């Protein structure tokens, strides 16, 4: 058992001053079989603490569910932190931002009539109470006061950038304390006078977020936190990427100098990120400040520990800085070996239209949310006439592949501002496969519904007769569909491939060995290995490879499946020796 307290100037561990040197590592962005490796590498860099958000929607895809299996096993993650001799900071939100789908808030929450998000509103608070009732029994027994690693728990997240409802913050405090959390509670806000004033409570310890000019930012924080330790809860040592924009990098020397200033001033720190990980599956968020920008599958973040767990020059530079202020182990992690390169022909193919579900008649034009589809794809279908000429949609969220009698005729795209498509001059069955490319994770568009938003018009009329259905991309069902199709041996792997199509192939591998899937010549879609959804790919970049964690692989034969929405220059993929995160900003 230990005591962790907030003193007049310092954090106190069993009564002695303690400088928190932490790194962000989100368990839900890392394969669970790799948690121990990433935590150990944090300790070897000189960190004494691991910080993680808790993504509510990762645990609760539907109301009444709280899943702690596999990669959602927060308890196991915290136990591994303790086993490495480190402390933990837990930041449960309910809102986390984190470039994560919907900022961690479950999409079903916004479908509750009258719900008022991130304020002391009864419908919202009832859902939060259910969440905390399931979560806090995982966290509370693992507090440092009970022999566990948890030393701090955060209340909300950068709330000063959103609201100023003190009753809401106090309600969260009461819920947290009511479940037996007795370690210090904190808030964090950007190092901005207005946000720090709005985002906290007098009884909660304030921390700040920033990535440069450390001494100046600490002075801002001190104005709002007159006593107690100064802490940067998010020291931004990199940045996230969006599809179609350059890969962000930050100079290791600049990061190290700012970290040196921070630690030299006696401040505590949490590196955001120490290890970014991956937005596996369909978990990436999006930003919209007038331009909708989905986040990439890679969340490498230009962090000290790369997406695949490799030590970087930034790791070494920051480790050298930490060694000037705190003990650092002599051991350095070994360099990551190159991954096995190989080419894989995809000789099993099935048209996507053949595996899509049959939509059912609906009233009006329901959103994806009204159909209970909280992520992924939604299918809409109607009839068009030869004189319709063009299809125009009020708003698409976020991208729709438009097909006439199963043949592609165009794309509607929120990101690109495309809301109309020309139609061939014939009667036929029109299908719109709408992709949720990631729910907005920050700002005023948080929680907005997905799918098609009307009205939908042609050149001659409003389209009011629709069928619709959610599309579940179950890996087992897709694999079965590919297995049932005759191998496309007559089509050379080097020949172009028309989509939308599912394509699959097999390759030999060794269990536990990381791979990097490269899809040069492919346009846009999803990729699976052994039924594990790696995430989205796009020719728009910047990311050119998808990370395949070693634990996903098995000895001997392995399966790769690609859902290509448009076309590929050849029906083959490759695995390459190292990741390629794309061109960087100059």
User: Who's near 126: CB < 8 A, 6+ residues apart?
Assistant: none
Report residue 551 as tokens. Answer: 């634990």
DSSP 170-222: HHHHHHHHHTT--SPEEEEEES-HHHHHHS--TTSEEEEEESS-HHHHHHHHH
Catalytic residue among 156, 158, 307, 437: 158
> In whole angstroms, what separates CA 414 from the centre of its chain?
20
Query: H/E element holding 75?
Result: helix 74-83
40-71 burial, b at 16+ Cβ within 10 Å, e below that, comes to bbbbbbbbbbbbbbbbbbbbbeeeeeeeeeeb
Catalytic residue among 51, 156, 234, 435: 234
* Cα–Cα distance list, 172 to 154, 201, 441, 477 (Å): 10, 11, 21, 42
Beta strand 428-435 with 399-404 is antiparallel
Best CA proximity match to 248, nearest among 288, 283, 299: 299
Cβ pair 2, 14 in contact under 8 A? yes
Say how far apart CA 318 and CA 161 lie, in whole Å: 29
Backbone angles phi, psi at 538, to 5 degrees: -160, 135
307 DSSP 8-state letter: T
List the beta bridge partners of residue 186: 154, 205
Number of residues in the chain: 586
Task: Please state at what angle helix 35-44 crosses helix 74-83, rounded to 10 degrees.
Answer: 40
Say how far apart CA 227 and CA 254 lie, in whole Å: 29
* Cα–Cα distance list, 419 to 326, 414, 453, 455 (Å): 56, 7, 11, 11
> In whole angstroms, what separates CA 422 from the centre of its chain?
35
| CA contacts within 13 A on the Cβ side of 359 | 26
Annotated active-site residue 370? The verdict is: no
| Strand-by-strand arrangement of the 515-518 sheet | 342-345, 572-576, 515-518, 545-548
Report residue 86 as tokens. Answer: 């480190």
Annotated active-site residue 158? The verdict is: yes
User: Who's near 287: CB < 8 A, 6+ residues apart?
Assistant: 99, 242, 293, 295, 440, 441, 442, 443
Classify residue 467 by burial, with Cβ atoms within 10 Å: 0-12, 13-18, 19+: middle
Place of tokens 């991956």: 278
Kindly list the catalytic residues: 158, 234
């Amino acid at each position: 058992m230990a005591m962790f307290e907030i003193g007049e100037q310092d954090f106190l561990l069993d009564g002695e001053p303690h400088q928190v040197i932490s790194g962000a590592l989100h368990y839900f962005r890392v394969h669970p079989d790799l948690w121990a490796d990433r935590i150990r590498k944090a300790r070897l860099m000189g960190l004494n603490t691991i910080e993680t958000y808790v993504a509510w929607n990762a645990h609760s895809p539907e109301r009444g569910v709280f899943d702690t299996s596999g990669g959602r096993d927060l308890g196991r993650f915290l136990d591994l932190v303790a086993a490495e001799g480190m402390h933990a900071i837990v930041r449960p939100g309910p809102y986390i931002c984190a470039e994560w789908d919907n900022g961690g808030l479950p999409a079903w929450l916004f479908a509750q009539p009258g719900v008022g998000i991130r304020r002391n509103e009864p419908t919202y608070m009832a859902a939060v109470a259910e969440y905390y009732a399931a979560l806090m029994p995982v966290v509370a027994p693992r507090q440092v006061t009970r022999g566990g690693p948890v030393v701090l728990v955060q209340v909300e997240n950068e709330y000063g950038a959103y609201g100023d409802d003190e009753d809401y913050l106090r309600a969260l405090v009461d819920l947290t304390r009511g479940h037996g959390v007795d370690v210090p509670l904190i808030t964090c806000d950007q190092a901005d006078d207005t946000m720090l004033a709005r985002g906290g409570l007098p009884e909660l310890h304030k921390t700040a977020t920033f990535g440069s000019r450390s001494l100046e930012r600490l002075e801002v924080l001190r104005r709002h936190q007159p006593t107690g330790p100064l802490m940067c809860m998010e020291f931004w040592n990199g940045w996230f990427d969006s599809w179609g924009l350059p890969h962000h990098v930050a100079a290791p020397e600049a990061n190290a100098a700012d970290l040196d200033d921070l630690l030299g001033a006696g401040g505590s720190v949490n590196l955001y990120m120490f290890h970014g990980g991956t937005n596996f599956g369909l978990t990436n968020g999006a930003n919209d400040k007038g331009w909708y920008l989905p986040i990439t599958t890679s969340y490498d973040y230009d962090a000290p520990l790369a997406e695949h767990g490799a030590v970087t020059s930034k790791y070494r530079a920051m480790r050298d800085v930490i060694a000037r202020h705190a003990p650092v182990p002599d051991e350095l992690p070994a360099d990551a070996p190159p991954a096995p390169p190989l080419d894989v022909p995809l000789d099993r193919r099935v048209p996507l239209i053949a595996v899509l579900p049959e939509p059912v008649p609906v009233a009006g034009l329901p959103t994806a949310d009204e159909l209970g589809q909280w992520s992924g794809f939604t299918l809409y279908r109607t009839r068009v006439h030869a004189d319709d000429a063009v299809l125009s949609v009020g708003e698409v969220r976020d991208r729709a592949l438009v097909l006439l009698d199963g043949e592609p005729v165009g794309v509607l795209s929120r990101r690109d501002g495309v809301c109309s498509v020309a139609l061939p001059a014939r009667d036929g069955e029109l299908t719109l496969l709408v992709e949720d490319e990631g729910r907005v994770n920050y700002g005023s568009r948080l929680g907005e519904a997905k799918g098609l938003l009307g009205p939908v018009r042609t050149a001659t009329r409003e389209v009011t007769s629709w069928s619709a259905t959610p599309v579940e991309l179950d890996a087992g069902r897709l694999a079965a569909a590919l297995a049932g199709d005759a191998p496309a041996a007559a089509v050379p792997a080097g020949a172009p491939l028309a989509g939308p199509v599912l394509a699959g192939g097999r390759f030999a591998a060794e269990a536990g060995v990381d791979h990097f899937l490269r899809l040069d010549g492919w346009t846009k879609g999803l990729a699976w290995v052994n039924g594990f959804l790696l995430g989205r790919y796009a020719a728009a970049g910047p990311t050119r490879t998808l990370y395949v964690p070693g634990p996903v692989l098995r000895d001997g034969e392995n399966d790769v499946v690609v859902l290509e929405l448009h076309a590929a220059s050849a029906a083959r993929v490759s695995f390459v020796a190292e990741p390629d995160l794309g061109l960087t900003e100059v």
